[in-house]
């Protein structure tokens, strides 16, 4: 998985004409198209989970809730051990499975917008939202994603070291999030965690774009490897996009 997810590749003479390479543009468009389709599917699943009572009951009031909540993490951790030689089919299935599960988890926001109900986090951050707020959060996130990915595509600086530190930082934030369930509730601690996740996700979008760009030349001509890399790239982008979207939406919906 790591070979495709955030592989360190050489940057040198072979990267000189990347901006004008038609093959590279086609490859990157393939990644962005898969990301776009994933976001569309996640939105449709979120709407169904939040606005259709029968689906809401199934997703949030049965044991399926735990699959939705922890399934993406389990799949990602499992892939580290069971996908030593990932295939296009396996990575594609994992991508769409995570899209559906994370989309279902977003249904709680649709439910809040649909019913007008308010909610609060464990730390006491009160929230209420509307469809307009959701649309604003999406536009802000999409704009940020576009700018960050463009930066990663055009920068000449090797960002592989920054990416490695960002990944370690993200795992540290995961540990802090688990610790948050043990410590006394604190809204400030929750905002600190969310701010860190937002910043690290933003960095990883730029890093992943550069890694995909460099990886295209590393695996150039190998259709199987490029197909796997397309799935990993779309998955990494999707997770970062959804993380940022949730945090922006939470900030806009906060009643503090």
Kindly state whether residue 6 falls inside one of the protein's structural domains.
no
Give the residue ranges of DSSP H helices in the chain. 2-5, 22-51, 53-60, 64-82, 88-105, 107-115, 131-154, 160-180, 187-218, 223-253
* 12 located within any domain: no
Please check whether residue 2 lies inside any domain of the structure: no
Q: Contact, 256 vs 125, CB < 8 A?
A: yes
For 44-88, write each residue's pLDDT tens digit. Answer: 999 999 999 999 999 999 999 999 999 998 998 888 887 778 899
The answer to whether residue 32 sits within a structural domain is yes
Assess if residue 52 is contained within a domain. Answer: yes
Q: pLDDT for 116-143, tens place per residue?
A: 888 877 767 788 899 999 999 999 999 9
Q: Is residue 195 part of a domain?
A: yes
Question: Which residues touch 203 (CB under 8 Å, ≥6 apart)?
Answer: 162, 163, 166
Of the spans 25-29, 134-138, 167-171, 186-190, which averages the highest pLDDT?
134-138
Question: In sequence order, what are the residues at sequence separation of 6 or more whose Cβ sits closer than 8 angstroms to the Cβ of residue 243?
Answer: 197, 198, 201
DSSP string, 33-86: HHHHHHHHHHHHHHHHHHH-HHHHHHHHSSTHHHHHHHHHHHHHHHHHHH-SS-
Asked if the structure places residue 14 within a domain, the reply is no
Q: Give a yes or no: residue 209 inside a domain.
A: yes
Mean pLDDT of all residues in 150-157: 92
Q: What are phi and psi of 120, to 5 degrees?
A: -150, 150
- Look up residue 194 and give its two tokens: 């969310």
Its pTM stands at: 0.86
Alpha-carbon torsion angle 233, 201, 135, 103, nearest 10: 60
Q: Which domain holds residue 222?
A: 20-253
CA dihedral 106, 107, 110, 116 (to 10 degrees): -110
Q: What is the pLDDT of residues 188-209, one digit of tens each?
A: 878 888 888 899 999 999 999 9
Rounded mean pLDDT, 9-37:
72
Q: Give residue 173's pLDDT.
A: 79
Among 164, 158, 170, 38, residue whose Cα is nearest residue 106: 38
Report whether 149 contacts 213 (CB < 8 A): no
* Number of compact structural domains in the chain: 1
Grade residue 18 by pLDDT with cuts at 50, 70 and 90: very low
d(CA 128, CA 106): 14
pLDDT computed for residue 6 by the predictor = 38
């Amino acid at each position: 998985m790591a070979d495709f997810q955030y592989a360190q590749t050489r940057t040198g003479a072979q990267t000189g004409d990347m901006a004008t390479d038609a093959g590279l543009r086609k490859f990157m468009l393939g990644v962005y198209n898969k990301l776009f389709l994933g976001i569309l599917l996640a939105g449709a699943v979120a709407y169904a989970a939040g606005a259709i009572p029968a689906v809401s009951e199934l997703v949030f009031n049965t044991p399926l809730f735990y699959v939705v909540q922890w399934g993406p993490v389990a799949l990602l951790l499992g892939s580290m051990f069971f996908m030593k030689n990932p295939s296009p089919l396996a990575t594609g299935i994992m991508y769409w499975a995570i899209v559906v599960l994370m989309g279902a988890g977003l249904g709680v926001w649709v439910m809040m917008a649909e019913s007008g109900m308010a909610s609060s986090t464990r730390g006491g951050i009160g929230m209420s939202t509307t469809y307009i707020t959701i649309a604003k959060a999406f536009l802000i996130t999409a704009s940020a994603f576009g700018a960050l990915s463009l930066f990663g595509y055009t920068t000449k600086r090797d960002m592989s070291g920054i990416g490695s530190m960002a990944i370690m930082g993200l795992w540290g934030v995961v540990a802090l999030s688990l610790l948050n369930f043990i410590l006394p509730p604190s809204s400030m601690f929750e905002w600190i965690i969310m701010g860190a996740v937002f910043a690290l996700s933003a960095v990883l979008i730029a890093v992943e774009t550069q890694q995909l760009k460099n990886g295209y030349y590393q695996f150039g001509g190998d259709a199987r490897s490029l197909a796997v890399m397309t799935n990993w790239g779309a998955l990494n982008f999707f997770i970062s996009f959804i993380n940022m979207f949730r945090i922006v939406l939470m900030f806009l919906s906060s009643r503090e």
